[in-house]
Each structure stands twice: as structure tokens, then as C-alpha cells.
Amino acid sequence: MNRRIVLATSSRILRQLRRDRRSLALVLLVPPVLLTLMKYAFEGQPQAFDRIGPPLVGLFPLTLMFVITSIAMLRERTSGTLERLMSMPLAKVDLLAGYGLAFAVVGTVQATVTSAVAFGLLGLETEGAVWLVVLLAIGNALLGMALGLFVSAFATSEFQAVQFMPAAILPQFLLAGLVVPREQMARPLEWLSALLPLTYAYDALALVAAGDLSGRLWLDVGVVAGCIVLALVLGAATLRRRTA
Amino acid sequence: MPSTDPATQPARAGIAESTPAAVQVRGLSVRRGGRLVLPGIDLDVRGGVVTGLLGPSGSGKTTLIRAIVGVQVIEGGTVQVLGEPAGSPGLRRRVAYVTQTPSVYGDLTVTENLRYFAGVLGAPPASVERAVEVTGLRQQAKQIAGSLSGGECSRASLAVALLGDPELIVLDEPTVGLDPALRRDLWRTFHDLAARGASLIVSTHVMDEADRCDELVLMREGRVAASAPPAALLEQTRTASIEDAFLALAASPTEAS
Ligand SMILES: Nc1ncnc2c1ncn2[C@@H]1O[C@H](COP(=O)(O)OP(=O)(O)OP(=O)(O)O)[C@@H](O)[C@H]1O
Ligand SMILES: [Mg+2]
């Protein structure tokens, strides 16, 4: 890994994001607005808001980074800049680390803003530490990035790339235990959910929110970390120096 | 070393080959979309000169260029570039490639694009200034690449290849859509680079650009129809212009020399 190239790449990606003011505004405003909506939608049952609020704060970055990365990577492929980079002295890991670093920064800002609104303004309650929620959110941003990077290889247009969000992420949201506890699902779905990375990302957040810092939390964190690495390795395999 | 098979041997004018070959292609075959686009070609590209790659649309120029740069999956044969197999990691610093369609980040300015690629190549900041100057983009330096005109955008893409100090510069139709004055300036730049020891391969559709090349490679249907300096080519075909020479070669498909 080459530090100069990684830093050049991540600052280039951040510059591209910064230039797109509207997207940046959406990245920072959509999660707080959604949480505000939920707070008042759940006015009659505040304990429900306190249950799903913290996990949502931690899962927003995953969704967003997934979409942003898959489209950014697709553009990199279709604009020929990826081919150009692949003919330069840049290792695949440099590119991946550049993306990772840039999106970790964006994920941190997003998670911080969202947490400030949720735990500060909206009075969201949690048993655990807020900084742990933020930390998990950053990890989830990286998971979203890694998954987005991988699936972008299967999209040939931005239209397709956008569809991967409802196709690949929404089902995971439904099965993670956020909507319905996993024990109450049909058996096959419960098994299936055990294979999905978001299940562990959610579980870790739910545990932190409940103030439960047991070994299971670290198991969840380990699984998420493993999924990030696996998706990155698979993503790297889709970055080809030679194409037909 | 030229092949001895007369059917595949390109027209050579017996030039003294003192400079080592920058590129050596042997029996290269490439299949794209199920079709054999390059059916096995041999070619030597001299070092330190500007070699023009000419041929009708679809004749395989881009495919050959991609094989030389090492981004093309090939079916058979070998491609040696600057003494190493094409696509070797060691070559990524020594070979610069400009794709036919401009490849820059449309949401960054010209300078930001160049700074980024200079960062990847480890080229000094001064090389960014120089590349902007040489490609005549001073006025557009702070403009977002996505808002450049077609010709400006392809110059921005070309500017990236001038960063660093590549020994082999491979340009796929770099002068499309440029006005005559700019084209002349760019060709001057190509020759300056060659004078400083770089080797250039430039594909083009424009026949009058052929006269500006030190060496010509004419391609036809995935084969090398001829490979010689312009003057030698005219002499062989007893024609007065490269265009006529090209047509003469096209008319005699089996006997290229
Ligand atoms: N990805 C692909 N899949 C299938 N066929 C392809 C692919 N790319 C190129 N071809 C075919 O290979 C042939 C050679 O293409 P190539 O791009 O090398 O031509 P070219 O000489 O560069 O043409 P032009 O001057 O128009 O750029 C063409 O007939 C083209 O249709
Ligand atoms: Mg072409």
C-alpha cells in the first residue's frame, strides 16, 4: 500500500463529493429528518422510538455509503478513469483504501450530525454510550462502502446501480430484527437472516442501545469486520487490469 | 525480427534498425465478443520515433493499442514492451496511455484532475503546469472537465499522459475534433517528446497526419497491411499520397509488399 496514492485518492473522492452540494446536503439532512419524522410518528409509543432509534442512527450511513459507492465506482468504470488508473502504478488496495478512508470521513460526519440531532434535539434515550453508536455507525459506513463496491461490478448503468439498494439492502433491513424480532420470523427466514451482514450490524447496535456490552457484542463486531474484509476482497477481484 | 512468412510479413523498407524496438508483437490474436478481431499479427515499433497507426474504423487499432498497454485480454501470442511483457507492473510507470474516449473525472477541474493523476504517478507539481501549457488549456485550467468542449476534454485527457516522464506514450486518436493550429502544435509536442527519447504510438483517422509520422503502420481488418516510413511506403506503392498508398494496399489484399 502506498500512502501517497491512498491520500491522493481519498482527497480526490472527497473533493468530488464536496463539489456535489446537493448530494452532500442530502447525505447530512436526510437521516435527521427521517428520525424527526419517526419521533413524531411514534408519539403514542416513545419506548418504540427508543428501541429502533439508535440502530437506525447506526444503519443510515450503511445505506447511504452503499448507494454512493456503487454509483461512484460505476462512474469510475464507465468514464474510463478506472482503466486509466489500472494502467498506472496504483495497487488495487490503494484504490480500495482511498475509497475506504474517504467514506470513513463522510460516515463520521454523517453519524456525528445524526447522533447530535437524535440524542440531543430529539431526546432519544439509550442505555449505552452515544460514542459507541457513532463508532459502530462508522464501521457500518465501511460495510456499506465495501458492499457497494462489490455490487457495482454487476451494474452496467446508474439506473441498475440505484436498484441494487432496494434489491440488496432493503431485504436485509427487513430481516435484521429491526422490524420484527428474528425469533418471530418463519424458520427459513430466521436462518437466512443469520447469513446476512446487516443482522449483525443491527444486533451490535441494539446491544449497545440496551447497555449490554457482553461478548455477543464483540462477536457481532467481528462478523461485521469479517464481512467488510470479505466484500473488499470480492470487490478487489472485480477490479480487472485486463478486460475483454 | 520480421517473420519469414510472406503472407504475414508487413511491407518493410529495409530501414536500418539500430534503435531497439519499443514494442515487439508476435502472433498476437485477440478475440472480442466472440469474433477474432486480431487474427495473429506481428509488428515491431521502433523506439525514439513517432509511429502512426492508421486504418479504417473497426480495423483493430484500439484493440492493438490495448494489447500493447496491457489492458486487453489476449488469446495468443506475445507483446513485449520496452523489453518487458506488456502489462508488467514495472511498465505502469514507463508507459502512458490515452484512451480514445477521454477519461477524466467530469466533476473535477482540469487542474484537479491533473493533480490527482500526478499524485498517483508521483510526478512533481510542476509537471501539472507544463501539461496544461502544452495542451493549450491555460484558460480552462479551473474549468470543470464535464463542461469542457469535446476537443478541450480530449486535450485534458491527453494532458494526463504528459505527466511523469513516460518512455512510451500510446495515444488513441488524440487529435479528433481539434482545429488545425492546435493539431500542428500537438504534433510538434509529439516530436519534441520523441526527440527527448520517448517513443510514441499515435492512432489516427486523419490521413494528412500520416505525413507527420516517422513510421507508419497501416491496419486492415485486424492485420498489419504495411509498416514503413511514409516515404518508403509511397515509393513501394508508387503513389503520391498516403491516402493513395492506403487505397493501393487495400486493393491488393494478398500481396502487401
Ligand atoms: N467489447 C467488444 N465486444 C465485441 N466486439 C468488439 C468489442 N470491442 C471492439 N469490438 C470489435 O472489434 C473490432 C475492432 O475494434 P477496434 O475498437 O479495435 O477498432 P478501431 O480500429 O479502433 O476502430 P475506430 O477507428 O472506429 O476506433 C470492431 O469490429 C469492433 O466492433
Ligand atoms: Mg479505436
- Residue B114 identity: L
Q: B32, B104, B105: which to substitute to probe chain A, counting the most A Cβ within 10 Å?
A: B105
* Cell numbers standing for residue B240: 503520391
CA atoms within a 13 Å half-sphere pointing along the CA-CB vector of A89: 19
Contact B120 A87 (CB under 8 A): no
Cα–Cα dist B219/B222, whole Å: 6
B57 close to ligand 1 (CB < 6 Angstrom): yes
Check residue B252 and give its pLDDT. Answer: 66
User: Is residue B12 predicted with pLDDT exceeding 50?
Assistant: no
Predicted confidence band at B253 (pLDDT cuts at 50, 70, 90)?
low
Average pLDDT, chain B: 87
Where exactly are the structural domains of chain A?
3-237
Check residue B2 and give its pLDDT. Answer: 42
Q: Kindly state the DSSP code that residue A80 receives in the 8-state scheme.
A: S
Nearest CB to B97 within list A87, A90, A244:
A87
Predicted confidence band at B245 (pLDDT cuts at 50, 70, 90)?
confident
pLDDT digits (tens, 9 = 90+) for B51-108: 999 988 899 999 999 999 999 999 999 999 999 999 999 999 999 999 999 999 999 9
Q: Are B116 and A4 in contact (CB under 8 A)?
A: no
| A161-185 as b/e: b if 16+ CB within 10 A | beebbeebbeebbbbbbbeeebeeb
Which atom of ligand 1 lies at the shortest distance from residue B33's CA? 4
pLDDT digits (tens, 9 = 90+) for A218-244: 999 999 999 999 999 998 898 889 888
Cα–Cα dist A161/A66, whole Å: 10
Across residues B215-226, what is the average pLDDT?
A: 92
Cα–Cα dist A6/A101, whole Å: 8
- Residue B17 identity: E
Check residue B23 and give its pLDDT. Answer: 96
Mutate-to-test residue for ligand 1 from B63, B170, B220, highest number of ligand atoms within 8 A of CB: B63
Predicted confidence band at B208 (pLDDT cuts at 50, 70, 90)?
confident
Most confident of A123-127, B150-154, B156-160, B237-241: B156-160
User: Is residue B110 predicted with pLDDT exceeding 90?
Assistant: yes
Domains of chain B with bracketed CATH: 19-94+166-249 (3.40.50.300)
Chain A residues closer than 8 Å to B95 by CB: 87
Check residue B139 and give its pLDDT. Answer: 96
Closest residue on chain B to A76 (Cα): B105
- In degrees and rounded to multiples of 5, residue B46 shows phi and psi of -70, 150
Chain B residues closer than 8 Å to A23 by CB: none
Which residue, chain included where needed, has cell 459502530?
A136
pLDDT digits (tens, 9 = 90+) for A193-220: 999 999 999 999 999 999 888 899 999 9
- Residue A167 identity: A
Nearest CB to B99 within list A12, A80, A242:
A80
ipTM for the assembly: 0.88
Q: Give the A:B interface size as CB pairs under 8 Å.
A: 80
